[in-house]
Amino acid sequence: MKYRGARILIEALKDEGVDLLFGYPGGAILHVYDELFKSSDIHHVLVRHEQAAVHAADGYARVSNRPGVALVTSGPGATNAVTGLATAYMDSIPMVVISGQVHSFAIGNDAFQEADVVGITRSCTKHNYLVKDVRDLQRIVKEAFFLASSGRPGPVLIDLPKDIQEHECEYLPRDQIKIRKRRLYSEADADKIQQAWELLKQARKPLLYVGGGTVLSQASLELMELARLTKIPVAMTLMGLGAFPGTDEQSLGMLGMHGTYFANMAITDCDVLFSIGARFDDRVTGKLSEFSKHSQKIHLDIDPGNIGKCVDIEIPLIGDVKQSLKALLKIVKKDENTLTQYHQQIDSWWQQIRDWQKKAPMTYEQGEKDITAQYVIDRFYRLTKGEAILTTDVGQHQMWTAQFYHFDSPHAWCTSGGLGTMGYGFPAAIGAQLAHPKKKVICISGDGSIQMNIQELATAIEWKTPVIIAILNNRFLGMVRQWQELFYDHRYSEVEMKVLPDFVKLAESYGAVGLRAQVKGDVDKVIQQALQVTDRPVVIDFVTTLEDNVYPMVPAGGAVSDIVLA
């Protein structure tokens, strides 16, 4: 049967299992919206800004482990989506974004609402396409979803000219569509895995350094089994939180710039470092010449480009984290008789780690009246019993959430780790809530970040998503202010939020619930009240202390062993 391009797109999306997408219409994509109007199989979430559409698709993808989908128009619609694409690209999030484009014959003529979207997004997508022939569209859609979710995941963009949406061709069953498949790695080389275990067995001070790739490959159970068998301590990156239970006695929490003292000291002092699905980014390594310089390193990653990119590696393991850990576990279990001896071998290492934990535990000070941000996050953790999905924006509140909300399972943590995107948290929370309607979803934000996409209150109201937006309101761009205090002699240049809306009234003007906590005694009351709301978003304005800082902290350019405790 022949369909026009717009219908082919919708049918191809259905073939890929898409039942929800986020978007904002415009002239160059109207044929597709016309077909959406006729279809009852795909639900469209109308956002209020294209950036929010991509962030919402991102949040949906992180908690569901399925590619998120966003739909935008040409020109400014597509360029508004670029920040969301870059955010997903840096964090390896599977996503397909479809942008309308001007007619094929008008491309390159500076037509109305034309932009070279393929050129603009080349550096922030895993792959992108300009559809030039309607007969290629089915293949491109199928290939886009394959690329987005296979190997190292990432966003893929399809730029669809308006005339291609009108052209007709035969629609084929999905199994008849042949796509180009790139080389995929399943498990790492067997000999290398054996070498990795032999090196780990020799270690007296081993450490598992776990990143977001472990979450993306759904390898948490395998990681947990490896840690249980070997008793090796586990430290996680910002993106790796939840890959291993944060409350487990083997967990050292987060490492890096605002990681725990004991995780950073362990990575500095270890003799064998096993990196699992992490990429040795600068927020973890600090000064490269001083990073874990006493250790031999094993690096397991699905992306060969990550191996040896930042640090020298003794044993590279190129492969899927889940499959490679399964292969490693078979070897470890064959050596089960030696594990008791191994546990004794690393016992003094654990004694050293426990000493570091006693020296500098993760704590905070909360007075009788003024509210600290850490207290708010701690109370959310205790009142939700750690079972909520959390999203954040970027800044101090993001780091405090990573430190004081203990994630015991994967896919419950959505934050912009690589790009550090303010405005990410709230739309990501909407996407996460629509992926898991029965879960409690909480967005921790700041008074600066929340204003970047606060218009999405309208989207949340329309879809009756009971997202809780917790604004930690310190009347500053907090993290920038902290750096200006510590490194710029208190010269607070353009970081004070001198004019802020009344967040309670603003929430109520959209039809949401607005609450405020001004003293410690208010905190539990407003959180419990918010947790009872099930049919609309809740905005809580927590009036927190003005100039609190995030500690521990590794100064920029310093070694992680230079960590400052207060």
Q: For residue 180, with 0-12 CB atoms within 10 Å meaning exposed, 13-18 middle and 19 or more buried, which class applies?
A: exposed
- Cα–Cα distances in angstroms (integers) from residue 30 to residues 70, 107, 340, in the given order: 14, 18, 66
In one-letter notation, the amino acid at residue 273 is L
Rg over CA atoms, the chain: 24
CA distance 237 to 228: 20
The active-site residue out of 112, 170, 330, 334 is 112
Q: Tell me whether residue 479 is one of the annotated catalytic residues.
A: yes
Q: Tell me whether residue 126 is one of the annotated catalytic residues.
A: no
206-210, strands of its sheet edge to edge? 251-254, 234-236, 206-210, 272-276, 296-301, 315-318
The active-site residue out of 14, 113, 224, 352 is 113
Q: Tell me whether residue 287 is one of the annotated catalytic residues.
A: no
Give the position of tokens 């989207």: 459
Q: Tell me whether residue 357 is one of the annotated catalytic residues.
A: no
Q: Extract long-range pairs of 175-179: CB within 8 Å, 24+ residues apart.
A: 177/138, 177/139, 177/142, 178/139, 179/139, 179/142, 179/143, 179/146
The active-site residue out of 50, 143, 222, 456 is 50
Which of the 8 DSSP states describes residue 559? B
Residues in the chain: 566
The active-site residue out of 479, 482, 542, 553 is 479
CA distance 404 to 329: 31
CA distance 219 to 187: 12
- Ordered alpha helix ranges (H), 384-474: 396-404, 425-435, 457-462
Measure CA 193 to chain center.
28
Inter-axis angle of helices 396-404 and 373-383, nearest 10: 40
The active-site residue out of 11, 95, 162, 440 is 162
The dihedral through the CA atoms of 61, 67, 73, 75 has a sign that is positive
- Measured over all CA atoms, what is the biggest interatomic distance in the chain, rounded to whole angstroms? 72
Instruction: At 396, list the tokens.
Output: 């101090």
Strands in 278-359 per DSSP E: 296-301, 315-318
Q: Tell me whether residue 496 is one of the annotated catalytic residues.
A: no
H/E run at residue 543: strand 538-543
Mind spelling out the 3-state secondary structure of 142-176?
A: HHHHHHHHCCCCCEEEEEEEHHHHHCEEECCCHHH
Within 8 A by CB and 6+ apart from 282, the residues are none
The dihedral through the CA atoms of 399, 401, 406, 411 has a sign that is negative
Instruction: At 528, list the tokens.
Output: 């419990």
CB 274 within 8 A of CB 298: yes
CB 302 within 8 A of CB 318: yes
Catalytic residues: 50, 112-113, 162, 479
